Chains A and B, each alone.
Chain A
Amino acid sequence: MNRTVVHDTFVIDRHYPAAPARVFTAFADPATKKQWWNDPDIEKDAAHVIDFRVGGRESMAGAIPGDGASFTYDAVYQDIVANSRIVYSYEMTMDGRRISVSVATLEFLADGDGTRLMLTEQGAYLDGLDTSAQREEGTRGLLDALATYLDKESS
């Protein structure tokens, strides 16, 4: 296998017309989070377990419809400040291969009568999709996933 690591940081900045406490609750309360977090197409049948406390874990596992590639998501909450900040680390695997290890920081900032939500995600992306045996399969899985997102975007 071709061992590679690519590091990346991206930031997404959003405004929501709801108070920080309410936006925070959407991440903090497991029952609430399950109402919107999962992609209904890709993660519909995924088993999703949430233990929202510092040191608590969140996990999800399932298969991508279509090509059946299995994925897992495992997170550990590292820092929680009520209504203000959540920091967690997580890894993802695809068909048993660890594909990334990331740190995600969510900041909930009062912004007028709403909330500015800043997501910063710092990741180490591992080994690409570089083995010839898995190349085609991985490519197709990725394409399917991309297409699903794009379909939803354009609808």
Chain B
Amino acid sequence: MLKYSGELDLVFQALSDPTRRELVDRLAQGPASVSELAAPLPISLPAVHQHLQVLQDCGLVRSAKVGRVRTCHLELKMLNTAQTWIQARKAMWERRLDRLDAFLATLPPEAAEATETSAEPPSEPSTQHEPDLPKGDQA
């Protein structure tokens, strides 16, 4: 299953751009020609081609030329792997642990004696807030 992870990095990168997400959103409704894709977008046709190239490079979009019309479709297999979901789960944890970092930074500094100093005899319980913890060994 690890062979997917490199591809998925590319998918995540590709989807970090709002225009490319719009293209993917449109293609999620069904195949479309390049000019159909370009019509609602406020960017040039060459720019649309560039975005589509990125989406094709990561395997998210495939295209085929029939006559003079190039039609694109979403390669759903790419998105239906459990690996995508796992990657999303991991990304969720990364974001969550970032939020923890930011949250901890908002707390007042910890009492200095709580960490290093061992010269003083044990004193009264610290004033640091502790939750009411249950015993870990019983239900």
- Our verdict on whether A and B bind, yes or no, reads yes
Hey, what's the 0/1 contact readout for B95-121 against A, CB within 8 Å counting as 1?
A: 111011111100100100011100000
Q: How far is the CA of A76 from the CA of B1 in the complex (A)?
A: 28
Hey, what's the 0/1 contact readout for A1-33 against B, CB within 8 Å counting as 1?
A: 000101010101010111101110110111010
Residues from chain A with Cβ under 8 Å of B12 in the complex: 146, 150
Q: How far is the CA of A7 from the CA of B15 in the complex (A)?
A: 25
Given contacts A8-B1, A37-B96, A150-B12, A18 and B83 within 8 Å (CB-CB)? no
Given contacts A6-B1, A143-B25, A12 and B90 within 8 Å (CB-CB)? yes
Once the chains bind, are B76 and A139 in contact (CB under 8 Å)? yes
Residues from chain B with Cβ under 8 Å of A150 in the complex: 12, 15-16, 91
Residues from chain B with Cβ under 8 Å of A25 in the complex: 129-131
Given contacts A4-B82, A54-B138, A128-B80, A82 and B103 within 8 Å (CB-CB)? no
Main SS at interface, chain A: mixed
Residues from chain B with Cβ under 8 Å of A52 in the complex: 131, 133-134
A residues sitting closer than 8 Å to B (CB atoms) are 4, 6, 8, 10, 12, 14, 16-19, 21-23, 25-26, 28-30, 32, 35-37, 39, 52-56, 79-82, 99-100, 113, 117, 119, 121, 123, 125, 128-130, 135-136, 138-140, 142-143, 145-147, 149-154
In the assembled complex, 21 residue pairs joining A and B whose CB atoms fall closer than 8 Å, in A order, are A12-B97, A14-B97, A18-B107, A19-B110, A21-B114, A21-B128, A23-B100, A29-B129, A36-B99, A36-B102, A52-B131, A52-B133, A54-B134, A55-B139, A100-B85, A135-B76, A135-B80, A139-B79, A142-B85, A149-B92, A153-B16
B residues sitting closer than 8 Å to A (CB atoms) are 1, 12, 15-16, 21, 24-25, 28-29, 74, 76, 79-86, 88-97, 99-104, 107, 110, 114-116, 128-131, 133-139
Task: Beyond the given A39-B99, A129-B79, please list 17 additional residue pairs across the A-B interface where CB-CB is below 8 A.
Answer: A6-B86, A8-B82, A14-B97, A23-B100, A35-B103, A53-B134, A54-B138, A80-B134, A100-B85, A119-B97, A121-B90, A135-B80, A142-B84, A143-B15, A143-B21, A146-B12, A154-B16
